[in-house]
Structure formats: C-alpha cells, structure tokens
Chain A
Amino acid sequence: MSFNIVVLAKQVIDPEAPSASYRIDGSAGKLEVDSSQKIAPVINGFCENAIEAALQIKEAVGDATVSVISAGSDFVMDVMKKAVSMGSDEMYLLQDEKFSNLNDSSITAKLLATAIQKIGEYDLVLAGMQASDWDQAQVPLGIAEILGVPCVPIARKIEIKDGRAICERATDAGYETVSAPLPSVITVNNEFGQPRYPTLRNIMAAARKTPITWDAAELGLSDDDLSPRIKIVDLFIPEKQSQCEIIEGEDEEEMGRNLALKMREAKLI
C-alpha cells in the first residue's frame, strides 16, 4: 500500500518585502503589500523545507504519494505551482473569500484538518515550523490535536521505520531523538536542508496538472466553525528613534580603540 504524505504549504507575503511597502488596516487585522510594488508572494520558507522533507521521505520509502494542501483566498498560481514542480504528486487548494487573512490558527487548523480527513488515508502530515507572516508556530500542533494524533514539532531529520517516525530535533541543550507512531504530524525547520530546485521535467508535469479546489461549503464548514477565538484589533509599525553614536577616528584601527574607550566610559565593560 502506498505511503501517503500530506504537506501543508502556505502562501505568504515575501518576508524580504520592506516594511515601507506594507499597507495596513489595523482594526481589520490585515496587512498587505502595496500592489504597485509588484512584490510577488512566496511559499513560506519552512513549508518549502517541509516539501523537501516529504520528497526525501518518498525517495526513502519508495512507494509514496505527496499531496500538498494550502488554504487561502488569493492564490498566485505561478507561486504555488512550485510545490508541484519540486516533485509533489497532488495539490489541494482550499480557496474561499472566507479564508482571506487567516490569522486565527483555530480556524486555519480546523479547515486544514477537515481537508486532510476529506482526502482520506494519511500516514504523515508535514508542515513548516512557522509561517513568516503571523509567526505563530501553532497551526500544525492544533491539527494534531483535532485529528487526535501524535505531534513532533521542529524536526531536523526524519526516518520512517516500522510504522513510526524517528525524528531528531534540536533542543536548547543539544538534541533529542523522538519516536512517534504513525500517523503523526511533524513540523520541520530549515536545518532539513535546501529545498530542491524544480527539474524541467517536473515543471512541465506541473503545468499540466490542475489543483483540486475546495471552498468552505465543499469542506462542510459552517460560519460557526469559522468564528474567531483570538482577534487582532490593531497593527502598527513600532516607532524607532535612532540614537546611535557613531565612533569616529583617523582610521578603522583608531575607531576600534575609541570604541573600547567609549564602552568603558559608558560602563558597558
């Protein structure tokens, strides 16, 4: 029987976009990039790591299917296609006006968990450790709770063996190896290695593939399911007043020496 891997991948604002390009509607909890800036969104970096992890596992177990799921309202297909052209088999887009600006993880987790169950059999759910927009690191943990399966956050290595996932994860003091029975939800970080580049063959295969699209009604989600548990009431860019004292000197060596004297004078050392 085929080994089924589901990968959760989110389309996000490019984290390299400068904050000067942000358009903020604070009371609506909404942040967009000024469209005149022509800054394309990206697949969240850790999600690309998760796709890479899925493809590595597929190579290791042999017979496996990798399905990518993403939830949102405005997908840029040129961006999302990358998930398939990297080598995934299927793509599911959960797309609805109601899924715009997903910043309440309880809603996101519910709709992704619903889609995972709708797809059917799964052995492994892989996700990024954190999305670079709202920086919450909790949707996959919530999904594990909803599905009632084990969860291993922030793995940097995964090995599938005897119906279990053996994961290595970094800890404050070093690392630990955790063994979780399958199916389980695992999140990964950038230590998993560089996401592979799409091959020409995969790019062409991806171009022919149409994603499966489901809206809220097709997922059987009511408005009650989508009611918020946390609410953003304001968004703002913190004011920063530069008070940096630039240390002068004849040359860089003298600047270095003057910095030492300055730090002593200010009792920093």
Chain B
Amino acid sequence: MSEILLVGEVNGGNLAEATAELIAHGKPLAESLTSSISVALLDQDSTSAAQEAISQGADKVYNIKDSLLGTYQTDAYLASLAKLIQEINPIAVLISKTEIGADIGARLAFRVDTGIVQDCIEVSVNSDNKIQANRPVFGGNCMATVVCESTPMMALIRPKTKEALEADTSRSGDVVDYNADLDESVIKNQVVERVEEVQEGIRLEDAARIVGGGRGMNGPEPFDNELKDLADTMGAAIGASRAAVDIGWVPYSYQIGLTGKKVAPDLYLLVGISGASQHMAGCSGSKNLVAINKDPDANIFRDARFGVVGDWEKVLPALTQQLKELM
C-alpha cells in the first residue's frame, strides 16, 4: 500500500500540535488514495511522541536517527528527509508550515525533484486522484485552487486550519527506526548562536485571547499603557499590524499577518487596525473578531463579529473599566 509521508515535529518530548493537525488533514487524503499515513520524527528522543502520532491517526512512524540530528539544523533535516523519501517513495508528502516546515518545504521538494503547493488551508483529492489544495494568494485577496502535477505530490499546510482528531490511545501502528547515516559534509550552514528573547506574558501563538494595535494607535506609548491595561484585564497577549511594526512602535515579534505570526485565538480584539487582507491572512482562524476603529468603512468591519465605530482613546478606557467590573 502506498504511503503518505508527514513530516512530524516534537515539542519538549511530545508530538507538536501542528503535527496532530497535519494528521487530521492527511487522513481523508489517505482514504481517497487508499494509502496509509506515516509520520517522520527527527527528534533524538521521540518514543512517546511516536505513540502519540499513532493515537492521533498515524499508521506508521519513522524515527529518524542520526548523531547530526537533535536540535534543528536545516541541512541535516533536509538530507535525512530526502533520503527517506527516495527510499520509501511515498505517493505524497505533507508538511506543516511551521518555522521548520517553511524552512525545509520548498528545498525538500526541489531536492526530490517535485513540485510543492505552498501555504494550503484546505487539501483534498480530485477526480484524477491528484491532491488539490486551496491557498490564499495576492495577500489573501484571492484564493487559488492548485493541483499537484508531479510525484511525490507535496503540500505545505498552514497550521491551525484543522482541528486535531480525538486521540485514540488504543490504536496501534508500526514504529520503525530509520538510520539516516548522514555524512558530515551535508552540513553547510553553521548556527553560531540562538537567542531566545523571552516575551513578557503569554506567547502570541498560544494565546486564547489577543489584543492587537495598528497604525491608528498613533504612537508606541498606547501599546505600553491603554492597550496593555486592556490586555492584562482580559488575560490577552498583545499583537500588532505590520504598519505599527514598520514604524518601530513594537518589535517584529508582535506582527500578525501574512509575513508575521499566524494566530487563531478564541477572541481577537483589533484596535486601530484597518483590516488589510495581509493582516487578516494571519488571523483568519480566529473564532471571534472584535474591532474598534473610527472609520465606519474600515475593511475590518466586514470580518468582525462586534464593532465599535469610535476613537479608541475614548472607547478603550471605558471598555477596560467595565471589563474590570465584570471579571
């Protein structure tokens, strides 16, 4: 039986949430193509992650082993995945567009001599038994339906576009050790240092609630004062539009959007953000959008569930005060 290979990731010993979602994307494809789901894990110590992958729906796990693996290094990951793909010849390869996935997806496709559909939000199998995906293009203004015309069929899938399946711990599957046997010469780039900038408060990507500020904030101070006060009251993380980042009010790590972080909180409250498609591309998975904007024609009111047309300088303090009384 043919295999669909998923590139898995491990977070602190556990299967990454993005990989569980990827399995959920892969399952219906496997059914249509009468193939099975295999997950490749490149962590040195992923025994429990392998079982978790199987509980999430995988039929087989390749535990890729090599002394050059361990902490993520692009060249080593690429070389071992390319080797595995050439050996097992999967019908399709799916990768999540996480930091690692975005880094290796395109290169892996070129290395195994096939095409890849980038940044898919939906994947299916068409009547020719080819994988077909929907993906936003032109900054999210337009949607494209793209078909894989070469094998293995490859797609890079945006995280948070599908919920993981319910874990079924009674499922069983094969766990195979795969020795990548890498030659040290595959490593070209050297990571000189990795710096973690500890962000205060909740990480944007994990936050259930987010408060975002845009160019309409009119300066950096409101991010530290009014917006922060509101965020603290709601237990929310703070994000921003690219306009606010480009002017230098907040660092790039705050940016939500096409070229920033992809978030999918339960509640995203946007203040002084116009709702450009490139911003919305980073938060389309949010369950509820609430907007405060002084322009009644702002695009954001087409996406928001609740909106206030007004100046945030007047709206925010009252909103925060009322929330404090409610919470």
Mark A residues whose CB is within 8 Å of B: 13, 15, 19, 22, 24, 29, 31, 104-106, 109, 129-130, 132-138, 141-142, 144-146, 150-153, 156, 166, 170-181, 189-191, 228-238, 240, 242-247, 251-257, 259-264, 266, 268-269
Q: Contacts A31-B142, A172-B99: A247 and B149 contacting too (C-beta < 8 A)?
A: no
14 extra interchain contacts, Cβ-Cβ under 8 A, other than A246-B308, A256-B319, A257-B319?
A29-B144, A137-B118, A141-B110, A152-B189, A176-B192, A176-B195, A189-B259, A190-B259, A191-B252, A231-B146, A240-B302, A246-B309, A259-B319, A268-B266
Which residues on B sit within 8 Å (CB–CB) of A134?
Answer: 137-138, 144
Segment among B20-28, B43-51, B54-62, B101-109 that sits at the interface with chain A: B101-109
Is B218 located at the chain interface by the 8 A CB criterion? Answer: no
Given contacts A252-B315, A257-B319, contact A171 B307 (CB under 8 A): no
User: Given that A142-B110, A228-B149, A247-B306 are known contacts, is A137 also in contact with B102, CB under 8 Å in the complex?
Assistant: yes
Contact between A260 and B323 (Cβ–Cβ < 8 Å)? yes
CA distance A259 to B317 in the complex (A): 12
| Set of chain A residues within 8 Å of B291, measured between Cβ atoms | 244
Q: Which residues on A sit within 8 Å (CB–CB) of B146? A: 230-233
The distance from the CB of A84 to the nearest CB of chain B, in whole angstroms, is: 25
B117 to chain A, nearest CB (A): 6
A138 to B109, CA, bound (A): 10
17 examples of A-B residue contacts, CB within 8 angstroms: A132-B139, A134-B144, A138-B109, A150-B189, A178-B192, A180-B188, A181-B188, A190-B242, A228-B115, A228-B149, A246-B301, A246-B307, A246-B309, A247-B308, A252-B308, A256-B320, A259-B292
- Give chain A nearest CB distance to B284 CB in angstroms: 10
Q: Which of A105, A230, A251, A263 has the most CB of B within 10 A?
A: A230
Given the complex, which residues of A lie within 8 Å of B326, measured CB to CB? Answer: 260-261, 264, 269
Asked if B278 and A15 make an inter-chain contact with CB atoms under 8 angstroms apart, the answer reads yes
Q: What is the count of residue pairs linking A and B with beta-carbon distances less than 8 angstroms?
A: 244
Using known A-B contacts A172-B205, A177-B193, determine if residue A15 contacts B302 with beta carbons closer than 8 Å. Answer: no
Q: How large is the interface on B (under 10, 10 to 19, 20 to 34, 35 or more residues)?
A: 35 or more
Q: B145 contacts the other chain (Cβ, under 8 Å)?
A: yes
Evaluate contact between A145 and B110: CB separation under 8 angstroms: yes
A20 to chain B, nearest CB (A): 10
Interface centre among A177, A190, A233, A256 (most CB of B within 10 A): A256
Residues on the B chain within 8 Å of A138, using CB: 105-106, 109, 116, 118
